[in-house]
Amino acid sequence: MSILQKVPFTILSILVILSCTENPSTNDEALKTAPWTEIAQKAEGSTVNFMMWQGSPAINEYINNYVVPSVKEKYNISLKISGGQGPEIVQLVMGEKQANIQSGQVDMVWINGETFFQLRKLNGLWGPFVGQLPNAKHIDMNDPFINTDFQQPVKGMEAPWSINQFAIVYDSARVQNPPKNLQQLTEYLERYPGTFTISNDFTGMTLLKSFMAELGGSPNSLDGPFDEEKYNGLSQKLWAYVNGHKKYFWKEGRTFPKEQSKMGQLYANGELLLVYGFSEGGIEEKVLNGLYPRSTRGYAWKNGTIKNSNYLGVLYNAPQKAGAMQVIDFLLSPEAQLRKANVNGMNSNTVLNIESLSADWQEKFKTVAKRQYGPEMKQLEKNAIAEPAPEYMIRLYEDFRKQVIEK
Amino acid sequence: MKNKSPNFGIILFIAIGVVPFAAAFIYALLYSFGVIGVANKGFTTEFWTSVVASGEFFRSFLYSLLIALVAVSISVGGALWSTLKFRKRLEQKFLSFVIYLPLAVPGIVTGFFTFQLFSKGGFFARLSYQLGWITEASQFPDLVNDALAFGIVLSFITMIMPFFVLLFLNVYKNERIEALSVLAQSLGANAKQVTQRIILPILIKKTWVLIVLYFIFLLGAYEVPLILGQESPQMLSVLIIREIKQYDLDKISEGYVFAVMYTLIVSAAAIVLFLPKKRRTYET
Amino acid sequence: MKPKQTLSWKPFVLSAAVLLILFPFVYLVLLSLASEWRFPDLLPSYFGLRNWATILGSEAGLLESFVSSLLISLSVAMVSTTSGFLISRAVFYHPKKNTLTLLAYFPYILAPVVFAACLSFFFLKMGLFGNITGVIVAQFIIAFPYALLFFSSFWNKKVKSYEDLVATLGGNRWQTYIKVLFPLAKGLLLICFFQTFLISWFEYGLTSIIGIGKVQTLTIKVFLFIKEANYYYGALSCCLLIFPPIVLLYFNKRYVFKKLV
């Protein structure tokens, strides 16, 4: 038995010894000011690890069959993709910080505002680096939907990759006059009970933010830093509305789908008739590959739906920062951005300011095929609102559980 | 135990079977008190206080316990019945292959499949519509993501019952139950007595360790309740992971509090169950 | 011992059970070939190879992933079955075997995902992060206690007396294992091998944390699709996941079933 008793103490002492080691040694500060030729030279021949969400064949096709071979051919960079989105990236950074790992496993990541906020809080990102990228000059850094992420200035800590807007999605064959404000939603719910719900994740909370902005009376009612008093007032109204209509929700509001992907399934199999999501609702790809009905259409909320960008970042302990910068610069090139806009492929809006490009690139971007089913971002833009401060999201998560799910 | 090798075996056992668990547990414990964790500021009991106060853990624990209990009871019962009734036929070549097939299906696939069949827009709902039993998807009974956890229990049963059938068949053979039964019969026991006094006690006694093991395994199951569960109450692993991966980094430690509490309770239960009082009459 | 009654209900129940077991496999294959199939249609409007063509086109290196999965799972199954068998002998002949058995249960108490989250720190520190070795070690830690407990019922008085007999007759340890113990445990060893192979083959949470998505096993590659909205791709991924073990089972069945069942 004595061995057994010693185990915990041995582990504890190992733990203590392990947690105080190493000191920062690698210094990549120079890369923030070095001329691009030097960075490109350093990047040549490196192996770059890119962690990103891999749940869509259209995105994987773009990355595996276009980006990976292109950066190999152009810069002799071996780009390795590993799967993981927000929470996994945050967990990895927290783990590596905890273990004091100087040379990390991942160089670059694909993130949205939610993760940006968390990574900034952990000091998990390296930068600023965006100013160094030659192709960054084509990005309009004065666009508030690009230079501000969750009310937090980006300041070159992450490079915008695509821009998109949140849209409401419905089946036009089965629903006439879909709701555009909360009052119309009430009418919709009474008419089509059981066909609408709120996913208990990022997407659902984003919808609630739109609702809250409407209850606040204007598209910009949630702008600016977090305001406790404003939140309390508006959220009370919001929960009253949601709870008052719960009985018309999917499963009479007794439970809610865990994730947006689940909601997509429920829409695809005909259980739900009204859903929503980023990337203008993500309609085009899902119709083209036979998941959503061809009668699917999308639109914006009258008081506005959230528009934002998603970004590429370099991790604080990335071993190949130069390589990561080179890859990110390639992803921002007109060539790569045009390919990404293909309606039959990844189909995402470019972050480039098309006017700043050469005439022939302008021509190419302007003649990109239009979507057949989903709305173009241009059609929704007049109803776009900015992402409110992250604290709103934190509180909504918590209170949606307490005030709605557990009631 | 004349030579030294058993002790070497024990050391290996401790190194592989015990040390990692103990390490993980201590890590979780330290995390739950805020001693480690990048977003934490040092020792605090606030996470424990808030978790205990919310009561969510206990609801979740009870919920998981009931689900696991129902699923294991039905599975073991069904497997015993099948073994008793179909033992001979299950030894046929084709059948003996077929009953292995469910073992090759992991939890996530079972969950996925159950959802495809039983959701309100799923296969059976479409069938009911075609048969004229329902006219709207929402009229189909609530069988997945439902309050009674029907979907979860069903998935669990399809996952573990085949395993128990195989196990019982194997024990039946290895323990020469056939011979014992014949012997009992020749001594005048009737079929019912043979089943109740010989077959069942031997099968259960020989396998109860694995039965408990699968019970624990279901208690901590993750993928199936993730797909088929509801948002409140959730099964334990789903709850723990939700808290560990949550958006508010300041509260991640609460997830570790859940993990530690869960480990402590189940450990205590395991100690009560497995530290035997006296030598059992039936030698294992 | 043939059943006497002419009209037995048993064949019907059995046939129904067989159909029930086979149904999921058939349904998953059909779903992976379907498209545009939603309530209230009983049959899909599209049926063909489109989904397969899309996934096989977008997922570069599926074959590579398959090979690395096979390598990892075979190593884990081999090592944990062998060590589980050998070490369980030491454990179950030990005077304190009850305490030791109890300890072996503990790794089950923490669900693998939680276990992995708590262990990742140590793996990071030991440099076993993001590589195949790390994944094998992590999966072994999960599979080993299973294997160990799996053999708990094997080590009984009868086996012990066989061992003693060999010793009395002048056999050495090596001979005890080769001539007596392995042949006696052959059936159990095969089931255990198969089960630990499956534990490793399907392992996602642990593998994704320790391998941080860099060790691209087949499970890691296709698992994601099962949770995404497109359930046709989900069904396809399910097929890719479950058919390799079934093939393995089929080729093994001669060995497994002769000894067992």
Contact A268 C220 (CB under 8 A): no
Beta carbons of B181 and B95 less than 8 angstroms apart: no
How far off is chain C from B53, nearest CA to CA, in Å?
23
CB within 8 Å: B232 and A405? yes
| Amino acid B283: pLDDT | 43
Is the Cβ–Cβ distance between C81 and C193 less than 8 Å? yes
B280 has a pLDDT exceeding 50: no
- Give me the number of domains chain C comprises: 1
pLDDT-derived band at A12 (thresholds 50, 70, 90) equals low
User: Per-residue pLDDT averaged across B237-253, rounded?
Assistant: 87
Say if residue A227's pLDDT is above 70. Answer: yes
The domain made up of A167-307+381-405 is a member of CATH 2.40.50.140: no
Q: Which residue of A has its CA nearest to B14?
A: A4
The pLDDT tens digits of the residues spanning B68-121 come to: 999 999 999 999 998 888 888 877 777 877 888 888 888 889 999 999 999 998
Residue type, C17: A
Q: Do C39 and B137 touch (CB under 8 A)?
A: yes
Residue C91 belongs to a domain with what CATH number?
A: 1.10.3720.10
Residues of chain A with a CB closer than 8 angstroms to some CB in chain B: 3-4, 7-8, 10-12, 14-15, 19, 87, 90-91, 94, 97-98, 114, 118, 121-122, 193-195, 200, 251, 254-258, 265-266, 269-271, 393-394, 397-398, 401, 405-406
Higher pLDDT, C98 or A103: A103
In this prediction the ipTM stands at: 0.84
**Inter-chain contact B120–A271, Cβ cutoff 8 Å?**
yes
Which residue type is seen at A373?
Y
CATH number of A34-162+308-371: 3.40.190.10
CA angle A270, A271, A277 (to 5 degrees): 85
Q: Does C93 touch chain B (CB under 8 A)?
A: yes
The C-alpha R_g of chain C, in whole angstroms, comes to 23
State how far the Cα of B95 lies from the Cα of B200, in Å rounded to an integer.
Answer: 23
Residue A28: pLDDT band with limits 50, 70, 90: confident
Fold for the domain defined by B61-274: MetI-like fold (1.10.3720)
**Is any Cβ of chain C less than 8 angstroms from the Cβ of A272?**
no
Per residue in A164-209, pLDDT (tens digit) is 999 999 999 999 999 999 999 999 999 999 999 999 999 999 999 9
- The answer for residues whose C-beta is within 8 angstroms of residue A26's C-beta and 6 or more apart is A102, A103, A317, A319
CA B197 from centre of chain? 28
CA distance B121 to B135: 12
Q: How far is A155 from A147, CA to CA, in rounded Å? A: 7
Selected residues 26-65 of chain B with any CB under 8 Å from a CB in chain C: 27-28, 31
Domain annotation covers residue C260? no
Q: Is A170 helix (H, G, I), strand (E, B) or coil?
A: strand
Instruction: Count CB neighbours of B204 within 10 A.
Output: 14
pLDDT at A398: 93
How far is the C-alpha of B139 from the C-alpha of B136, rounded, in Å? 6
- Residue B184, Cβ density class (10 Å: 0-12 exposed, 13-18 middle, ≥19 buried): middle
* Confidence (pLDDT) at A8: 54
Mean pLDDT, residues A377-406 taken together: 92
Same fold, A34-162+308-371 and A167-307+381-405: yes
pLDDT at A313: 96
Residues A290, C46: C-beta atoms closer than 8 Å: yes
User: Is the minimum CB–CB distance between B122 and chain A shorter than 8 Å?
Assistant: yes
Nearest-CA distance A101 → chain C (Å): 8
d(CA A343, CA A350): 12
Global pTM reads 0.87
Q: Report the alpha-carbon distance of residue B234 to residue B224 in Å, rounded.
A: 11
Domain residue ranges in chain A: 34-162+308-371, 167-307+381-405
Residues of C at the A interface (Cβ-Cβ below 8 Å)? 35-36, 38-40, 46, 50-51, 54-55, 57-61, 96, 99, 103, 117, 120-122, 124-125, 129-130, 208-209, 212-214, 216, 220-221, 224-225, 227-233
To which H or E segment does residue C46 belong?
strand C46-47
Reading across the β-sheet that carries A296-299, which strands appear in turn?
A: A274-277, A167-171, A296-299
A156: left (phi over 0), alpha (psi -120 to 50) or beta: left
Give chain C positions within 8 Å (CB) of B236: 111
A160 closest CA partner among A110, A210, A100? A110
pLDDT score, position A191: 95
Name which of C221, C245, C244, C243 is nearest C233 in CA terms. Answer: C221
Weakly modelled stretches of chain C, pLDDT under 50: 1-3, 257-261
Average pLDDT across chain A, whole number: 90
Which of A82, A75, A74, A73 is CA-nearest to residue A50? A82
Question: Percent of chain A having pLDDT more than 70?
Answer: 93
Domain of C161 in residue numbering reads as 68-227
Residue B284 confidence class, pLDDT cut points 50, 70, 90: very low
- Token code pair at residue A302: 């009258």
**Which chain B residue has the Cα nearest residue C188?**
B170
CB contact under 8 A, B6 and C86: no
On whether any CB of chain B is under 8 Å from the CB of C121, the answer is: yes
Nearest CA in chain A to B233: A406
Of the candidate ranges B173-177, B224-228, C13-17, C31-35, the one whose mean pLDDT is the lowest:
B173-177
Would you say residue B5 has pLDDT above 70? Answer: no
Does residue C35 contact residue A290 with C-beta atoms inside 8 Å? yes
Cis peptide, bond prior to residue A153, ω within 30 of zero:
no
Q: How far is CA C152 from CA B206, C103, C155, in A?
A: 10, 13, 6
Among A129, A353, A169, B19, smallest CA distance to C229 is for A169
pLDDT of residue C184: 83
The confidence band for B200, taking pLDDT boundaries of 50, 70 and 90, is: confident
Residue A1's pLDDT is 40
Overall average pLDDT of the B25-37 stretch: 91
3-state SS, one letter per residue, for C132-166: HHHHHHHHHHHHHHHHHHHCCCCCCHHHHHHHHHH
Note the pLDDT of residue A242: 97
A251-263 confidence digits (pLDDT tens) = 999 999 999 999 9
